Amino acid sequence: MRSPGSTFDLRAALSDEVRGALAELEKGDGERKAVHACRVRLKRARSLARVGHTFAPGLSAVFNDSARSIMGSLAEARDLSALAKAARRLAKKSKKRAAVGLKTASEALEGARDVAGPVDLAAVNAGLRDLLALAQVWPEASARQVKRGARRVARRARRAWRKGSDRDAPAEKRHEWRQREKDRLYAAALMEGVWPRPHRHGASRRLVDQLGREHDLMLLTQRLEASPSLAGDEASAAAALKALSARRKRLVKRARRVAVRLHAGRA
């Protein structure tokens, strides 16, 4: 029986997010905006599944692995679009040589996106329906279990912040930090009213946005380092990489400032 204090139905919320992902994909017929909206819904669902880890750890792991697989099949077009956009945005703020290289890279990435293979909508649809079945068998949770799960998500975000915000932290630690902050942002927004602590949504969104932009620039850096011809020539690639490095450092510095304020209250 449900605890009298429980005010959040995790199973229903999970099911709603997966249904929303299905609706976005079917409504958009695989278009880029629909794919992006579907992926956001899946990220929100995965955040809720992590709240549910405390009372259904095995189911949470299966749900997250299944959702990650679906997101991976939707990732190629999204990644190319995001990197092209990041290159264009930075080009507007860069010196001439770097701007030329970044614009050239943006055009190349957009070209690659346009010739990328179509999303296998039938396979994604089947995967989402399997995911919905998992959501619908989630065990009913007490108020205490939901609160413990929410605290676990917040605690993981704080731990990832400590490891990933250091000036010399490797890219994978910063990526983990971004993921855990995103979990907390989505879970707290979806659980508003029952989240165990006051949550600063504005600061949390800014932090996730800054870490997300830095992550895209890191991926763009890796592509340019592997294929300098993406920027046109060696000199343009070198200038673009220098601009990317400087911008990434600024974004991480801003993220650290926001995170210090955000975590001060153990949000």
- For the segment 191-206, the average pLDDT, to the nearest whole number, is 85
| Contact (Cβ atoms closer than 8 angstroms) between residue 35 and residue 119 | yes
The whole-number pLDDT of residue 78 equals 81
Whether 30 has a pLDDT exceeding 60, the answer reads no
Whether 161 has a pLDDT exceeding 60, the answer reads yes
Look at residue 174 and give its three-state secondary structure: helix
CB-based contacts of 29: which residues, under 8 Å, 6+ apart?
121
pLDDT tens for 223-248 read 999 999 999 999 999 999 999 999 99
Please state, in angstroms and rounded to a whole number, the distance separating the CA atoms of residues 267 and 253. 20
Three-state SS letters, 82-148: HHHHHHHHHHCCCCHHHHHHHHHHHHHHHHHHHHCCCCCHHHHHHHHHHHHHHHHCCCCCCHHHHHH
Backbone angles phi, psi at 5, to 5 degrees: -85, -5
Please state, in angstroms and rounded to a whole number, the distance separating the CA atoms of residues 146 and 163. 26
Whether 29 has a pLDDT exceeding 80, the answer reads no
| Position 93 confidence tier, pLDDT thresholds 50, 70, 90 | very high
The whole-number pLDDT of residue 4 equals 43
pTM for the full predicted model = 0.90
Please state, in angstroms and rounded to a whole number, the distance separating the CA atoms of residues 152 and 126. 31
Q: Long-range contacts: 216-220, Cβ < 8 Å, 24+?
A: 216/82, 216/83, 216/85, 216/86, 217/86, 217/90, 217/244, 217/247, 217/248, 217/251, 218/171, 218/174, 218/248, 219/79, 219/83, 220/83, 220/86, 220/87, 220/105, 220/244
Give the tokens for residue 187.
Answer: 């879970």
| Position 2 confidence tier, pLDDT thresholds 50, 70, 90 | very low
Please state, in angstroms and rounded to a whole number, the distance separating the CA atoms of residues 88 and 70. 28
| Position 264 confidence tier, pLDDT thresholds 50, 70, 90 | confident
Please state, in angstroms and rounded to a whole number, the distance separating the CA atoms of residues 213 and 175. 11
Lowest-confidence pick of 24-33, 46-55, 83-92, 240-249: 24-33
User: Other C-beta atoms within 10 Å of 25: how many?
Assistant: 24
Whether 265 has a pLDDT exceeding 80, the answer reads no
- For the segment 54-66, the average pLDDT, to the nearest whole number, is 96
